[in-house]
Every structure is written in structure tokens, then in C-alpha cells.
Amino acid sequence: MNSTILIVDDNAGSREALESILGGQNYTLQMAEDGLQALEKADTLHPDLILLDVMMPDMDGFEVCRRLRSTPGLAEVPIILLTALDDTASRLEGIESGADDFISKPFNRQELRARVRTITRLNRYHTLLEQRESLREMAQRMVTGLEDERMRISRELHDELGQLLTAQLMDIRDLQNDLTIPPVVLFERLEKIHNQAYEVTVKIRRLAHELRPPLLSTLGLKQAIEVHCSKFSSHSHIPITVEVDDEVAQLPDVYGIILYRVLQEALTNIAKHANAKRVWVELSLEDDLINLIVQDDGRGMPEADKTVSGIGIVGMTERVALVGGELGIRSGKNGGTILSASLPLKPGTIHKREEA
């Protein structure tokens, strides 16, 4: 991936000189002509390095540096000050305003290239370390999640199914010990045992469904989504519009499970929290990207809610991240919530059908 470098200088000649020194070396170069433009561009581009002229009208490089350092998300960006000033006082002010390094004008081509290369490499290393740390945390949460899930299943097997079956065994034994019971009473007691046995089968079926969605294995992703959505709609009484690209049938298994689980949680959240009147689900394939969108017209989701203690959103984010994808949650134009999961695909996974 190219490093983006933001060059900030009011002098067109200096900008061109820097462009000629750093051009053609796998950097994406962006220019700003004054301090304000620099702050705006830094905010939108999030560059990997800023080369910042000191002497500029209106807002000098020191001030730009101070402002960048107090902006969340930009406080860590490496900044090299470009200065004709070689005096200690200016360098001191540069350090105090948060610069990482200095390069004197006129530029020495080799020195400039070497400094820029070192800083961009270090920055990339730093980013890699951060990514590794967040992957480690994610793996930890997944292991804990797995253990919690096992505990829940074990509790359900032991406390619920175990107790129901024990009660039935005792009832059957009771009947065996008293074969003189009148038929009416016998009928009632057998009816009770029958109902309990039925309850056990329902619980077992539910547990099995939770472990692996059977719809997905038997019907494939497209139909599984359609059936799930229509069940959701009949339980919640919220009309739902579903559009699924036919080509999703070619997706590898792991994508199907991730998308299906995200859809389940998104719809559960809508039923629990949104107070929606309508829901739209769309799963589409676009080049090498799969997009799942679940939109509702409900109460919307305040920013603060995205970080509440529920495990639904965290779980969706982590599932999607497993294949390098991203989960986004934003407000709809007319209110409501739009949840999107974008999963990148290896090029060539999907063969688009030729248009007739």
C-alpha cells in the first residue's frame, strides 16, 4: 500500500521541488498551500506523513503543528518541519509544537528521501503492531465467547432438558408401580408425559438450530435468507423487502455463515430496539465485494448506543473482520438505521453470468 504524504508549503517552487524529489517512489503526494488547507486535507486524507513549511502567512507551521497535535486521530501523524531557519530557538519551538523531525531548505535530495523513507516505514510498522494487537484482542474475545456459548448450552442441557427428562422418568416409574389406576386418570398422566416429551423435542431442535443454521445447509444462502426474513416478518408483523443476488450461491461456506449470522442479529436488534414499521434487506455482489444491507425506518441509533454493553454489535463486527470485512452503522436519510457488512472476496471467486 502506498504511503500518503501531505506537502504543505505556500511557495509553488518549493512544492514542485518536493514533488520532483519524492515523485515516482510509491508515495501518493498531496499538496496544501496554506495552514488552513493543510488542516482540512489532513483531516480528510489521514496522511502517513506531513512535510510542513514553517514560514507561511496567516498560520505558520508551528501553529499548524500544534493544531494537528490536538486533533484526535491526527495527534500521532509524523510531521517533518521544513525550515530555512537553522537556529536553535526555532527548532526548540518546533519540538514544543510537536514536530518529529526537521529538514533544512534548500533540500538535499538524498537526505530528504532517506528521512521520508525511514519515517514512513516506522509509521507502517507502528500500524502493523496496532493491527496485531487488535487481532489478539479479537481472538481472545472469540475464545471467551466460545466458552460462554458452551456454558450456556451445557446449562440448557443439564438444567432444562435433564430436568424435564428426569421428571418424565419418575412419572413413568409411578405408572408402572400402580397398574390399577382408572383409565381416565391414566389418560391424563400419559398426556402430561407426552407433552413433556414434546417440549424436550422442541428444545433440542432449537438448540441444534442455534449451533448450525439448518436452513443454510439445506437451502443455500439465498433461500435461507428469504425464509429467515419471512419468518421474522410473520413473528414481528413488520413487512420486509428482500433482494438477494442469485450469484451468492457461489460464495464459499464461511461467507454464508458470517452473512447469515449478521442478518440474524441485525433483525433481532430491529425487533428488540428499533420500533420499525418497515425493513429492507439487500445482499449484492459488486466486483470483488459482497454487501449486505439491513435497513429499518425505526427510532434510529444514537452514536452512544453503538458502544453499549450488548454483544450483538461487537459479535457482528468480529465475524465480519474474520474475512477482512467491515461493519458500518449509520442513520438513514429519513431516520432509522442502516447496517452494512462489506466483505472483500478473492478476485475470481464469483463468475458473473453473461447478460443475454
Residues making contact with ligand ATP (CB under 6 A)? 269-270, 272-274, 296, 298-299, 301, 305, 308, 310-313, 337
* Least Å from the CB of residue 300 to Mg ion: 16
> Which among 64, 78, 60, 102 is positioned nearest to 5, based on CA atoms?
78
* Least Å from the CB of residue 309 to ligand ATP: 7
Sort strands 240-244 and 101-104 into parallel, antiparallel or unpaired: unpaired
Q: Which does 145 bind (CB under 5 to 8 A by kind): ligand ATP, Mg ion, none?
A: none
Distance of CA 330 to the CA centre of its chain: 12
φ, ψ for residue 340, nearest 5 deg:
-130, 140
* Least Å from the CB of residue 146 to ligand ATP: 16
Going from the C-alpha of 113 to that of each of 121, 127, 263, the distances in angstroms are 12, 21, 49
* Least Å from the CB of residue 265 to Mg ion: 6
Contacts of 271 (CB under 8 A, 6+ apart): 232, 235, 236, 238
Q: By Cβ distance, which residue is nearest to ligand ATP? A: 310
Closer residue to Mg ion in complex, CB, 97/269: 269
Q: C-alpha grid cell for residue 259?
A: 452473512
The reply on whether position 337 binds Mg ion by CB under 5 A is no
Q: In what order do the strands lie in the sheet with 326-331?
A: 240-244, 279-286, 289-296, 337-344, 326-331
Query: CB–CB of 294/339 below 8 Å?
Result: yes
Backbone region of residue 275 per phi and psi (left: phi > 0; alpha: psi in -120 to 50; beta: other values): left
Question: Which positions from 84 through 143 interact with Mg ion, judged by CB under 5 A?
Answer: none
The reply on whether position 168 binds Mg ion by CB under 5 A is no
Figure out which of the listed residues 90, 269, 295, 340 binds Mg ion, where binding follows CB under 5 A.
269
The reply on whether position 312 binds Mg ion by CB under 5 A is yes
Q: Integer distance in angstroms from the first to the last C-alpha of the chain?
A: 38
- The DSSP code sequence of 63-104 is HHHHHHHTSTTTTTS-EEEEES---HHHHHHHHHHT--EEEE
* Least Å from the CB of residue 276 to ligand ATP: 7
Q: Which does 311 bind (CB under 5 to 8 A by kind): Mg ion, ligand ATP, none?
A: ligand ATP
Q: By Cβ distance, which residue is nearest to Mg ion? A: 312
Q: Which does 337 bind (CB under 5 to 8 A by kind): Mg ion, ligand ATP, none?
A: ligand ATP
* Least Å from the CB of residue 200 to ligand ATP: 26
What span, in angstroms and rounded, lies between the C-alpha atoms of 82 and 55?
9
* Least Å from the CB of residue 153 to ligand ATP: 17
Q: Which does 64 bind (CB under 5 to 8 A by kind): Mg ion, ligand ATP, none?
A: none
Closer residue to ligand ATP in complex, CB, 32/270: 270
Interface positions with Mg ion (CB under 5 A): 269, 310, 312
